[in-house]
Amino acid sequence: MSELTFRRVHRASPELLFDCMTTPEHLAQFWGPAGTTTPVENITVDLRPGGVFETTMVNDSDGGTYTMRAVYTEVSRPDRLAWVEPDVEGGMTTTITFVDLEDGRTEVVTHQTNVPEQYRSPAARAGFQTSLDRFDVYLQRLTNGA
């Protein structure tokens, strides 16, 4: 088991970014790597410590599905969001910190601990990066009013 950290700077407020990460209608626009979709009806958000966070991604090419089941451990809008995935060996924990850079930008730091080997592979990390890229594109559409 090990740790992974991803950092991105977005031209958006911490509040907007937090809301995007916790609202099914937003999550459905970007959740999952390129080549997948996550329909809004496949997303459950019970935004409180002990609440359920569940997504089922659908592979665009073959219709296969992958469900992520997690339980929120920390909900502190707009600064921090954390969950644990009890079904993943070792209980992988994800903590997202939203750092206001005071210039209209926010740094989003995603830190994962107890990350199983298959999630640390170059292909898995590249897939996670495409999900972050999709988030960037969605945020640009939101903030530019397009």
What's the token pair of residue 27? 């999550």
Note the pTM of the prediction, 2 decimals: 0.92
Alpha carbon 41 to chain centroid, angstroms: 17
Residue 146 confidence (pLDDT): 53
In one-letter notation, the amino acid at residue 137 is V
The residue assigned the tokens 């569940």 is 54
Residue 1 confidence (pLDDT): 59
Tell me: the pLDDT tens digits for 91-138?
999 999 999 999 999 999 999 999 998 889 998 889 889 999 999 999
Domains and their CATH numbers in the chain: 2-143 (3.30.530.20)
Tell me: the pLDDT tens digits for 25-80?
999 999 999 999 999 999 999 999 999 999 999 999 999 999 999 999 999 999 99
What's the token pair of residue 108? 């989003």
The residue assigned the tokens 């809004």 is 40
